[in-house]
Amino acid sequence: MLLVNGERVNIRATATPEGEIFGAHLRKLREDRNLSQSQLAEGARSSKPFISNLERGLTTPSLGMILRLAEALACRPSELIKVFDRGPQLSPKSRKD
């Protein structure tokens, strides 16, 4: 909720293609390690809503967050972003509903 000229306005985040690709990849890495969003959030010193927003593509991580996610997932930071290398990529539509 945001106040604009004294009126409340609902602001909805919109997923970006890059965010959806990263989010699908992050979800796969998390699920492969049998971690919940809460467990990943705790390990990355973040919050469950933020991890949820990442996985839904509504936000993209900073470099610092990529480093903390890699630590929490016990992987290299490059593993998190390799999905953007040229070649076959995860499609946002490949996410589980």
Phi/psi class of residue 15: alpha, beta or left (left: φ > 0; alpha: ψ in -120 to 50)? beta
Token pair, residue 63, equals 């470099």
Tell me what pLDDT residue 59 has.
93
Q: Distance between CA 65 and CA 68 in Å, rounded?
A: 5
So what's the pLDDT on residue 38?
97
Average pLDDT of the residues in 3-17:
69
User: pLDDT above 70 covers what percent of the chain?
Assistant: 75
Options 3.20.20.10, 1.10.260.40, 1.10.10.10, 3.40.50.880; which CATH number does 16-85 get? 1.10.260.40
